[in-house]
Amino acid sequence: MTSLVFLLVYVVLVAAAAYIVGAIRRMMTPTADFTSLKTVTFGDEAAVRPDRAASVISVLVIFLIWGAFTGSKWVPIHVPGPFMGETAFSYVAQSPSGETAEGRVTVLVTEAGAEAEPPEVAPTSGFVQNDSAVTAAWRSVLISAQRNDGEDARIISVEGRPIQPGETVSVPDGTVTMTNRGSLNFQPGKGLQMEPIWMPPPEAVVTRFVDIAQNGFQNTPLWSHLGWSIWRVFAGFLLGSLVGIPLGYAMGLSGWVRGWFDPIVEFMRPVPPLALIPLVIIWFGIWETGKIVLLFLAALWVMTIAARAGVSGVNLAKVHAAYSLGANKRQILRHVILPNSLPEVFTGARVAMGVCWGTVVAAELVAAQKGAGMMIIAASKFQQTDIVLMGIVLIGLIGFGIDILMRIAENILVPWKGRG
Amino acid sequence: MDGLQIDNISMRFDLPNGKHVQALENVSLSLEKGEILSVLGPSGCGKSTLLNILAGFLAQTSGQVLMNGKAISGPGPERGMVFQKGALFEWMNVRRNVDFGPRMKGMPEVERNTIVENLLDTVGLRDFKEKAVYELSGGMQQRVALARCLANDPDVILMDEPLGALDALTREKMQGLILKLWKETGKTVILITHSVEEALLLGERLLVMAPRPGRIHKEYRLPFAERAVGADLREVKKSPGFAETRDEILSMIWEMEEEIMGGAEA
């Protein structure tokens, strides 16, 4: 139910931002480019261009939500946090003789990790003694309230509501559950914010990033971890391309080679590289050779299929034209088939890079001494969620950066893509 | 002997279902150097098959084709080809497209540049030498294709509906250009087209082909191409005999089409 409400709030945020940005734009001078003069835009795919203002606001909203749910100091608004401070609830105990009396339990809820003494409590007149306890936010505390209330005293109600073992009663700033042995367990209100060990606030991740960038992680600099991952990807990708591209060309140019390798390629292509990890470990061990072989296999089939498609995609009229102009087979391969296949090869390279980057992180999760994947799996074993988050963000940024570099290279090297 | 000698060629290929297609049957034709021939016919009459055999992309099942007295057995630089859609190499600029043939032969760059300059002047693309071909309009791309073909100095130019994808105005300009190039270079030209008017204007000789099996139905010798060189094409179309011949050929093709369609409807 709560999550539905938050989904709704998110949708409202998206719509409200659109409305506000739209209103601001209407106040400014209107542009009169071709698209803005179109009257039919709904259903016209060409008129739908990503609104960069929406992208910026979207990223800001992610940080806003992240901060709001983690109590970040960077964000002005927060969802209700866990209860902290002193609170109390009353209970009624019954002695074996049928006598009843009321006592109070005072609980001090501290910030996570802080140490504190239980608060002092005033003595009472009846046989029931007041109690006190101390706990940290999000943690519950067991209060053996009846233990100092005389022989076999039994708690019968909390805050005026009857309670049985196993039952839970709401009290101010939390809930009280009776255990099977008749003790009380106080759980201070958790609010909607997340505990730092589940989801640290953004500033904790940034602080950790600065710390690890300066001091390294497990005696290895951060750049070395990332550098190893990137190096493995490039080595595997290069080897895969060196074998895959010629193989793809051979498959595109010879029926026999095509027939020979078709079953192998078509079988290996849908096998996820991650499924090969166990076999690769058995054959090549868990260190560098194994990882490079795995990435080689991840890139190989993608590049083979891309090169094959590039050759098959050549317009026959172009090959005919080249023959009619007197070119021989070698010249046709060099001047027609190769350049014609380059756009496809580049598309394949982008896919292969993405697959390799995903595979290297997964392979490092399994076993590695250095690497981005190793960093996050090692951190997760120590509940260092901030390092895990930092690692995920860095892995995402590097993957994104690789793709952007490939696109830039594509625009420079094959400007004729899609213009044949 | 100079020229192109087509000697009783047939083209028959088997289909997977055991039947066969007779794409060409006993086609004979002889073209002298410098003649321009246009070929018309309903779809399925084998005109593209004929052109592909002449270019050397297909091997006929019987008969032979002699080019300057030698039987052809594959594509060769003495038979240039212009395709419906340029078939330009979009990874090369205009200059590199035009000098492709000479470059493959290993001609030195200085000579190649002279050829390119001259040809681009002729086809009216002097200022587009370093442009990417995908930046050009369809008509300009066909001009590059013509220049690329001529740069290789072939004896015969085979054109497979070279103007089919162009708009009417560009088409008329290009018809004038083809006539001009034909007259200036003295090349033998074979042109396949779907437009009867184009065939009349651009054919000293005109071949009407019939389908099932593909064969020569009727041959004309026409005066219009000679008249049209450097002249106003619209005036030529008004000259005596043009309209009559056009109507005659049109009804001939209509009849063949009706036969095909009638067979399909029955």
Nearest to residue A112, comparing CAs of A43, A27, A204, A224?
Answer: A204
Cis peptide before B213 (omega within 30 of 0): yes
Asked if A420 lies within 8 A of B134 by C-beta distance, the reply is yes
Q: Could you tell me which residues are beta bridge partners of residue A85?
A: A109
Q: Which domain holds residue B123?
A: 79-153
Per residue in A63-119, pLDDT (tens digit) is 888 888 888 888 888 888 888 888 888 888 888 887 888 888 888 888 877 777 777
Give a yes or no: residue B162 inside a domain.
no
Query: Distance from B52 to chain A by nearest Cα, in Å?
Result: 10
Give a yes or no: residue B166 inside a domain.
no
| Interval B168-179 mean pLDDT | 86
Last-in-domain residue among B119, B153, B187: B153
For chains A and B, CB pairs below 8 A equal: 71
Same domain, B189 and B240: yes
Give a yes or no: residue B165 inside a domain.
no
State chain A's mean pLDDT as an integer.
86
Q: What is the CATH number of the domain that holds B15?
A: 3.40.50.300
Asked if A320 lies within 8 A of B105 by C-beta distance, the reply is no
Q: What is the pLDDT of residue A259?
A: 93
Last-in-domain residue among B102, B118, B153: B153
Percent over 90 (pLDDT), chain A: 23
Structure tokens at A362: 């997964």
Find the Cα–Cα–Cα–Cα dihedral A403, A408, A414, A417, rounded to 10°: 70
| Interval A340-361 mean pLDDT | 91
Same domain, B65 and B189: yes
Mutation target to probe the B interface, by most B beta carbons within 10 A, among A314, A316, A320, A324 is A324
Assess A325–B contact: CB distance below 8 Å, yes or no: yes
Asked if B91 lies within 8 A of A318 by C-beta distance, the reply is no
Residue B1: band (very low, low, confident or very high) from pLDDT cuts 50, 70, 90: low
- Sheet strands side by side (includes A141-143): A141-143, A184-188, A174-178, A168-171
Among chain B residues, the shortest Cα distance to A332 is held by B104
Nearest to residue B222, comparing CAs of B40, B4, B36?
Answer: B36
ipTM field? 0.89
User: Residue ranges of the domains in chain A?
Assistant: 2-70, 85-188, 204-413
Nearest to A419 among B74, B90, B100 (CB): B90
Is the Cα torsion angle B127, B129, B135, B139 positive or negative in sign?
A: positive
State chain B's mean pLDDT as an integer.
85
Q: What is the pLDDT of residue B183?
A: 86
Find the Cα–Cα–Cα–Cα dihedral A232, A233, A235, A236, rounded to 10°: 110
Same domain, B186 and B249: yes
Per residue in A227-261, pLDDT (tens digit) is 889 999 999 999 999 999 999 999 999 999 999 99
Q: What is the pLDDT of residue B264?
A: 52
Mutation target to probe the B interface, by most B beta carbons within 10 A, among A319, A325, A331 is A325
Residue B44: band (very low, low, confident or very high) from pLDDT cuts 50, 70, 90: confident
Percent over 70 (pLDDT), chain B: 97
Find the Cα–Cα–Cα–Cα dihedral B110, B114, B117, B120, rounded to 10°: -120
Query: A415: Cβ–Cβ under 8 A, 6 or more apart, which residues?
Result: B132
3-class state of residue A170 by DSSP? strand
3-class state of residue A330 by DSSP? helix
CA atoms of B89 and A117, how far apart (whole Å):
83
CA atoms of A213 and A365, how far apart (whole Å):
21
Nearest to residue B203, comparing CAs of B220, B181, B185, B218?
Answer: B220
| Interval A334-357 mean pLDDT | 91
Helices vs. strands in chain A: H and E counts, helices first: 12, 9
Asked if A335 lies within 8 A of B134 by C-beta distance, the reply is no
Query: Distance from B238 to chain A by nearest Cα, in Å?
Result: 37
Q: What is the pLDDT of residue A119?
A: 79
Q: What is the pLDDT of residue B266?
A: 42
Q: What is the pLDDT of residue A368?
A: 78
Asked if B79 lies within 8 A of A324 by C-beta distance, the reply is yes
Cis peptide before A221 (omega within 30 of 0): no
Last-in-domain residue among B118, B153, B188: B153
- The answer, yes or no, to whether residue A169 has pLDDT greater than 80, is yes
CATH fold for the domain made of A204-413: MetI-like fold (1.10.3720)
3-class state of residue A415 by DSSP? coil
Chain centroid, CA A260 distance in Å? 42
- Cα diameter, chain B: 64
Per residue in A261-297, pLDDT (tens digit) is 999 999 988 888 888 888 988 898 878 888 899 999 9
H helices of A51-201, where? 52-70
Give a yes or no: residue B159 inside a domain.
no
- Under a CB-based contact definition with an 8 Å cutoff, are residues B80 and B55 in contact? no
Query: Distance from B100 to chain A by nearest Cα, in Å?
Result: 7
Query: Distance from B76 to chain A by nearest Cα, in Å?
Result: 5
Same domain, B17 and B46: yes
- The answer, yes or no, to whether residue A420 has pLDDT greater than 70, is no
Same domain, B30 and B96: no
